Structure formats: structure tokens, C-alpha cells
Structure 1
Amino acid sequence: MSASSAGAPGARDGADVELTATDPAGAAPADRQRPWPAGAATGMGSLPGTDITEAIKTVLGELPELPYLPELPARGPGADMVGRSAGFLVDLPVELYAARWRMASHQGRDARRTADLLERDLDQLTEQADGYAGPLKLQCAGPWTLAASLDLPTGGAVLRDPGAVRELAASLAEGLSAHVAEVSRRVPGARLLLQLDEPSLPAVLAGRVPTESGFGALRAVEPVTAVETLETVLGSVGVPVVAHCCAPDAPIELFRSAGAVAVAVDLALATDLDQIGEAIDAGVGLFVGALPGFGDPPPAARVAARVRELWNKLGFPLGELPERVVITAACGLSGATPGQARSIIKVCREAAERLLDEARS
């Protein structure tokens, strides 16, 4: 069961000491200093299409305050979230089998294709971001989502083997550290920020990940174990980490306890305002998914109003909103058309600018 569904108290009564002692109640640790400017907007990761050059140009041009290295899942296997993220694993090769990714004995064609796609992305980032100085976000699936999505060679999710989960987390930490170092070398003026996508973590915590047969579910993971595993990655990459979960029961308190500099949630599904408020009170930033990641977007004024309404409910001064909040779509934009994706990004930026102007007036 997740920390949120268990009704676990938040930072104000010190209950999260049971999860970790690294986050004193109400504190804003130095490593949680927000690495984005006030009034920033960004995207969650994916874009439609297959042209990485155009995608990077779009992100750098439309999101100058907090651009990111876009992902293009329409390119096929190895560009999808699980395959791309598994490509960062060190000495743990994967392969496609029956339309699912599983651990393999050696690097094969699927792993080489994944590596080639990432290399092309980095080459284009190097070229298009030449001379760029400022924050830059990278994305990867987190260890628990990978453990729930990758299969063991003998069948069943990696999640069913605690030892394999620990090995996967350590491998991911090493691979992401190398990835961060490589991007830093290619774009030396960038201040990097890593987004860990954990859409499967609520199911992991609640014991809802199905067994291989589909007739049962794997045992729930304890919150303390989930935190320790996340800390393996967060403590190794050397840059601030945003924890992203677009599920209704996003474990915000758990992410905060693991040391995330910010949490990213879907505003439409963010019903536990106590967890959100306690995280902000502890110095954690908030990436608000304030509009859908598909279709024609609403006006920027309406998006800004929704975020302002949330902030007012949380009870924090309006003047702090642009510094503490980043405006995003609720999810990646791979399901949108190219025109819709560009419009959604533009509305996010305009809503963030509107909120910044209001705070300064």
C-alpha cells in the first residue's frame, strides 16, 4: 500500500522520519535549491514525429527557460519509454521478446538500435544547443517502473525478485551518471536536471502489478524499500531530480523523502492537497500538469487560473508561485499532432509568464 493510501502523516508531524532521516521536517536542503528560473514552463518528455532535429529546435525555441531533451517514441522500439530507459542500464542488456522488453544474456540488435537512437539525439542536442547556458532537463523511467515493466529471462517482471531489483537500481544509477556526464560534456553551459518517470510506482506500492499469468499480483513493496531504491539513483546522478507520476495516487511524500528536488503531477488527478502542501512546505518544487497532452489546448489565461486556484487552496503566498511552480502538460505529447504539441507548449509558456507577471504586479 502506498504512503498516500495508507494515510501516512506528512512532514509537519515528522512521520516521514520512518521512511528516511535525510529530510528534516520543514527544511529546504541545499541540494533542493530549484535549478530553474521563476516563471518557467517545460514538457514531460515525449513529442510526436520522428525528426529529432526539429524536435530539439522546437523545445529550445518554445521553452527557453527550461528546455529538455525530447523523446520521440514514434521511431519505434528503443525510442519508447521502457526501451530507451533500459538502454541506460550498465551490464544488464535487454531485448524485445513477444512485444515486451526482457533481460538478455548479451547486447543484441535491439540494444544496439536503442544506443544508436540515443547517440543521434545527443549529436543533434550538441549541435542545436551549441553555446546554450541554462537549465536543461533529461528524462528516464525510474527503477520501480523499469522493475515492473522489464521481464526476467525466465519470465515474470524483474519486480518479483528483490535481488534483481537492487541490481537494476544500481545499474541504472551508474548508467544515468554516465549519461549526465556525457550531456554535460556536450553542452558545457547546461545546468542539468533529471526527471525520473515513475507511473508504475503506485501499483508497485499497492501490490497491483500482475504476475506473468495475469491471474494474480506481485507482493506490495514497502514504502521504506521504495525510498531506499530511489535513493540509490537520486544519490548517484549528481544533479537535482524531479520525480514524475501522473497517477491519481502519486506517492508525493515518498518522493520527497527520497530527496527529489521537485514532484511532477497531473493537476486533474491531484486530490491529496495535504501531501502537496507538505512537500512545498519542505522546499520541494512542483511541476504542475495543468492541461492535457493531446488535443487543442485551452487558453493560457484559463490554464493560469487553474494553477492559481490550486496555489490559493494550498495557502501559500501568490508571490512565491512562479519560483516554486513549473507549468507543464499533464503528460508527454506523443499522442498530439505536431501542431497541437507546439500549441500546448506555447500555452504552458504563456501561462507561466502570466503568473510571473501577476506575482510581480
Structure 2
Amino acid sequence: MESTHAWTAGAATGVGSMPGTDVVEAVRTVLGELPDLPHLPELPDRGPGADLIGRGASFLVDLPVDLQPSGWRLVDRPGRDLRRALDLLERDLDALTEHADGYTGPLKVQAAGVWTLAASVELHNGAKALSDPGAVRDLSASLLDGLITHLADLRRRVPGASLLLQLDEPSLPAVLAGRITTPSGYGTVRRPEESTVEATLATLVEKVGAPVVLHCCARDVPWALFRRAGAVAVSADLTLLGPIDRWSPKTIDTIGEELDAGLGLFAGVVPAVPPSGAPIAGNAADVRTAQRARARELSDPAASVTVVRTLWQRLGFDPATLASQVVTTPTCGLAGATDDRARAVLAQVRAAGRSLVKDPEA
């Protein structure tokens, strides 16, 4: 089965983060478990500079940042914290260069999106950059320049790769709803117009020079806005919506309209960490029951994609398009898993994606 998207049919990938601090092992794991669409792993356990905002801010050109007690802040000149973030990124790229030598095919990399950065990074006065439209424009232009340079570096390092850029926008629903708080915590930052948000994203998507996946690990993903901004796919944690038989008709119609327009779906379907409530201690019977439940959870790849199969059926879509339009992923939070759990999750994600190709109508 051929795919008209920037990935192969039945592909699977990670959201981005992985547990631990050993980037070489993380790169090996990703390349081994996700051969159809590997990604550059991120290891936030290494501390400041390896986190979403610290790494994202390290891509900014001529807008240096430093870590303050309240978070990352724009400063006049680069300091130790920014150098650490850049050093961690360089180590990650070196590991990828070595272990992806000879790789050909799609390769995904991630970065914090402009609106999530604007909602997190502080201006010199301690206010969020989001509070100043001019600062947001500067942030967007700076991020674009940095990402273009980053992607060019990756093309030199892994020349056989076809790059796919994932922009992480977990804070965007809060930005759109006006829920970002002021430094005092008693007020909120005025929300930007949706047209401004869309135009800013669209400029980044158009000019960055690689297909863009927009990721949002929230219940209220702005599906239509992401598609209008030019994203080739939206990455979303479908488990946040609960069992599909409890999805509202509005939710199904909203997602279906964007999928029908050709939007790809990076579907978070395999829990990154074991379900809460399963006991890890107690009497022997409880422990055995929990162990059996966890074994079943990662033993049936086809069950992991029941949600997207059901969605396709309810929308009346051709089952043959499912494997080419959907990429399977874990849910957010894989950095909080054990190493063994992370490998098992990625293996399940891979098998789940391939099951869509083997039997699209199952």
C-alpha cells in the first residue's frame, strides 16, 4: 500500500520524549523499534535545557534566554543555561548522526511551537512574552530562523532522511481561551485573536522548509486551526477523549471534517505509562491481577487501534485509507516510564501501525 503522505503506510513514531539520560541508548531504541518513522528522542530527565521550553528556546536566533526561578527568560546576552541547552542538543545530534548513518526514509524532529514558547518564556520584566504582540512577532521570526538552520544541519548529518518537523503546542488551547496567568497569578494575559494565531503558525509552516505536524496533548485540540495553518498532520492523545463510544457527535464531526480534508492523524493510542489504579504492591493475588492486566494491555496491538478503526467506520471513510492517513504513537509522557516500559510501548505502537496495513477492515 502506497501513501501520498510524508510517511509510509502503517508507520509508527514517538511523540518525542524518552526516559533516562543516555541519549545513545535512546537513539538506538528509537531506530530499532520505530524503523518506519524514527524521531530524535528528547530526554527531559537530564534537567534544564533538555526540557521542552529550554530546548525550544535554544533554537531562538539573537534572543538569548537564561533560567530564572520562575522559568526561562529572555536576557541581553547568552549565559551558562543557554550554553548547557545547546550542548545537550549537540550531543543528541551527534548520537543521531552516528547511529543513523546510512538511514534513508522519513525522520521526525520536534520543537516547541511559537505560542507555547510565548506562553512560557518571560520578557525582561518578568511578564510572559505572550503579553506583548511585538515580542511574539520577534519570537516567531527568531524561531523560524533557528529551525531553518536546525533542519539544514540535520540534512547534512543524515542526508538520506526526509525530514518531518513536529511543533509542540500544548499551551495553545490555554492561549486561545485566555487562561495564561500574569506573574502575580491573579490575572490572565489577554488572548490573541484566533486569526493572529493562525497567521503566525501558517507563516512558520510555509517557510520552515519541511512538512509540519502540529502536536497538542490536550482535550481541546484546535483541529481546524491546525489544518488551516497548513499542517500535514495533527498529533493528539486520543485516550484523553475516553472510549470512542462516549465521544460526542460534535467531536467526531469536528475531527472527521479535518480528516476528510486530507489532514493526517498521529494518533496517541498506546498509554505511555501503566493505567493508574493497577496495584503494584499488596497481597499476592492483587499483584498477580495487576501483572496480568498490564501484560494484556501491551499484548494485543490490534486492540490499540480499535479507536481509529471505529472512527473510520462511523465517518464512513474508506478503510483502505486508514493505514496511510494514520500514524500510531504513544500517548504523551513516555519520559515518565521505565526503560523496559518505553521499549514495550514503542514495540506495541509499531505493531499496531502495521496491523492497519495487514487488515484495514478488521
Common topology (TM > 0.5): yes
Partner of 2:49: 78
Opposite residue 77 of structure 1, the aligned amino acid is P
Kept in 2, the 8 Å contact 1:206–1:221? The answer is: no
Q: Does 1:55 align with 2:26?
A: yes
1-structure distance, mates of 2:127, 2:16: 28
Partner of 2:215: 244
1-structure distance, mates of 2:213, 2:96: 21
Question: How far apart are 1:359 and its partner, in Å?
Answer: 2.4
Opposite residue 277 of structure 1, the aligned amino acid is G
1-structure distance, mates of 2:323, 2:63: 41
Partner of 1:5: none
SS at match of 2:8: coil
Q: Does 1:286 align with 2:287?
A: no
| Residue 197 of structure 1, aligned match among 155, 168, 187 | 168
Q: Does 1:219 align with 2:190?
A: yes
Question: How far apart are 1:301 and its partner, in Å?
Answer: 2.6
Kept in 2, the 8 Å contact 1:242–1:262? The answer is: yes
1-structure distance, mates of 2:118, 2:4: 30
Partner of 2:342: 341
Partner of 1:306: 307
CA RMSD of aligned residues (A): 1.4
Partner of 2:151: 180
Kept in 2, the 8 Å contact 1:84–1:114? The answer is: yes
Query: Unmatched 5+ residue regions in structure 1?
Result: 1-31
Q: Does 1:34 align with 2:5?
A: yes
Partner of 2:316: 315
Question: How far apart are 1:99 and its partner, in Å?
Answer: 4.6
| Number of positions where the alignment pairs a residue of Structure 1 with one of Structure 2 | 330
Kept in 2, the 8 Å contact 1:45–1:332? The answer is: no
Partner of 1:24: none
Question: How far apart are 1:72 and its partner, in Å?
Answer: 0.2
Kept in 2, the 8 Å contact 1:46–1:333? The answer is: yes
1-structure distance, mates of 2:166, 2:178: 24
Question: How far apart are 1:318 and its partner, in Å?
Answer: 1.0
Q: Deviation string for 1:252-288 (max 9, x for gaps)?
A: 1000010000011111234522221111111110011
Partner of 1:274: 253
Partner of 1:254: 225
Alignment of 1:88-237 (within 5 A): 88-237=59-208
Q: Comparing 112-121 with 269-278, which one deviates more in the overlay?
A: 269-278
Partner of 1:324: 325
Question: How far apart are 1:133 and its partner, in Å?
Answer: 0.3
1-structure distance, mates of 2:138, 2:156: 27
1-structure distance, mates of 2:204, 2:191: 21
Query: Unmatched 5+ residue regions in structure 2?
Result: 242-246, 275-293
SS at match of 2:235: strand
Q: Comparing 183-192 with 216-225, which one deviates more in the overlay?
A: 216-225
1-structure distance, mates of 2:333, 2:304: 17
Identity percentage over the alignment? 57
SS at match of 2:55: helix
1-structure distance, mates of 2:7, 2:333: 20
Q: Deviation string for 1:200-219 (max 9, x for gaps)?
A: 00010010111111111111
